[in-house]
Chains A and B, each alone.
Chain A
């Protein structure tokens, strides 16, 4: 099945720095969602961006969507140690009401 692919796969940054992750996909989407997973825990929804939207914000999170390049980015500003987690992008493709996940992006924020 078509899935989002995150890049980079692993990221290590200092507390206070910004973290940027990218996600690419292959076919037209209905929406794209970002989730966070703390080690061994359930996934938590962060942001949903629809295909007709280009940017959304939620607190320290900023998500962009470029449908012409079939890509999205997640920016976490002023990172904190508590942001250490795996981040997944997931896509819902047109004509398909299923959420397909990428393999995830591990972010480590060093205090």
Chain B
């Protein structure tokens, strides 16, 4: 089944404790992206990647890192999480060309709480 898989789905952590949210897609998509969703603010893009070893900042990249060493994986790294990073995070992927040419496929989301 074609899908985007995120882990963990739920996480409660404490300020400053490094964490990684993994994202994997099995559709051989070139484009991958991370969004965060907050009440009243909608979805905001954190980082995106057009292909392996190519990443770029979205609208709210501060406090996050990403890497794209393999086509299927696009982990989101929070080096020193803070409470304002409490949010619902979504990973998404798309064929070559990204959303300019086609739809995004979303994972089920990872709900992160930073105490």
Chain A positions within 8 Å of B, measured between CB atoms, are: 1, 3, 30-31, 33, 35, 40-45, 48, 88, 90, 92, 97-104
Which B residues from 53 to 75 make CB contacts under 8 A with A?
A: 58-59
Smallest CB separation, A66 vs chain B (Å): 21
Give the nearest-CB partner of B59 in chain A.
A1
Q: Is the CB of B43 within 8 A of A45?
A: no
Mind listing 6 A-B residue pairs with CB under 8 Å? Answer: A42-B107, A42-B108, A92-B100, A97-B99, A98-B33, A99-B33
Give the residues in chain A near B41, CB-CB below 8 Å: 103
Q: Is the CB of A102 within 8 A of B99?
A: no
Q: How large is the interface on B (under 10, 10 to 19, 20 to 34, 35 or more residues)?
A: 20 to 34
Give the residues in chain A near B42, CB-CB below 8 Å: 3, 88, 101-104
Give the residues in chain B near A3, CB-CB below 8 Å: 42
Smallest CB separation, A29 vs chain B (Å): 10
The one of A45, A48, A103 in contact with B105, judged by C-beta atoms closer than 8 angstroms, is A45
CB-CB under 8 A for A48 and B103, given A43-B90, A97-B97: yes
Cα-based distance from A104 to B41 in the complex (angstroms): 9
Secondary structure dominating the interface of A: strand
Which B residues from 62 to 115 make CB contacts under 8 A with A?
A: 88, 90, 92, 97-100, 102-109, 111
Cα-based distance from A3 to B97 in the complex (angstroms): 20
Give the nearest-CB partner of A93 in chain B.
B100
CB-CB under 8 A for A98 and B99, given A3-B42, A88-B43, A103-B42: yes
Most buried by B among A1, A43, A104: A43
Smallest CB separation, A12 vs chain B (Å): 19
Smallest CB separation, B28 vs chain A (Å): 18
Q: Is the CB of A42 within 8 A of B45?
A: no
4 residue pairs, one from A and one from B, having the closest CB atoms: A99-B99, A42-B106, A45-B103, A103-B42
Q: Is the CB of A101 within 8 A of B100?
A: no
Most buried by B among A90, A92, A98: A98
Q: Is the CB of A33 within 8 A of B109?
A: no
Give the residues in chain A near B111, CB-CB below 8 Å: 40
